[in-house]
Amino acid sequence: MTIKRSLAAFFALVSACAADRPLALSGWARNNPDWVESVEPFRVDGDIYYVGSRGLSSFLIVSREGHFLIDGGMPENAEMVADSVKALGYDIRDVKYLLNSHAHFDHSGGLAALKEMSGAIMVATKGDCSALEGGFYLGSESDHDFDAPPVKVDRVISDGETLTLGGVTLTAHLTPGHTRGCTTWTMTSGGKQVLFFCSATVANNRLVATKAAPAQYDGIVEAYKSTFAKAKAWRPDIFLANHPGFFDMGERLDRRKAGDADAFVNQTAFPAHLAKMEAAFEQSLAEQAATAESR
Residue 88, exposed/middle/buried by CB under 10 A (0-12, 13-18, 19+)? middle
State the Cα torsion 276-159-218-155 to the nearest 10°: 120
Q: Tell me what pLDDT residue 11 has.
A: 34
Give CA–CA dist 135/150, Å, rounded. Answer: 4
Extract the residue ranges of the chain whose pLDDT is less than 70: 1-26, 295
192, 238 contact by CB (below 8 A)? yes
- Letter string b/e over residues 54-85, b meaning 16 or more CB atoms within 10 A of that residue's CB: bbbbbbbbbbeebbbbbbbbbbbbbbbbbebb
Q: Tell me what pLDDT residue 293 has.
A: 79
226-285 pLDDT tens trace: 999 999 999 999 999 999 999 999 999 999 999 999 999 999 999 999 999 999 999 999
DSSP H or E stretch at residue 5 = helix 3-16
Give CA–CA dist 28/77, Å, rounded. Answer: 13
The widest CA-to-CA distance across the chain, in whole angstroms, is: 59
Q: Tell me what pLDDT residue 292 has.
A: 86
Strands (E), the chain: 42-45, 48-50, 59-61, 67-70, 95-99, 121-124, 155-156, 162-165, 168-174, 183-189, 192-197, 238-241
At residue 232, the 3 state secondary structure works out as coil
Among 19, 120, 20, 110, residue whose Cα is nearest residue 71: 110
Q: Tell me what pLDDT residue 65 has.
A: 97
Q: Tell me what pLDDT residue 7 has.
A: 34
DSSP H or E stretch at residue 269 = helix 269-294
240, 247 contact by CB (below 8 A)? yes
The CATH number of domain 41-294 is 3.60.15.10: yes
At residue 218, the 3 state secondary structure works out as coil
Give CA–CA dist 219/232, Å, rounded. Answer: 20
Q: Tell me what pLDDT residue 295 has.
A: 66
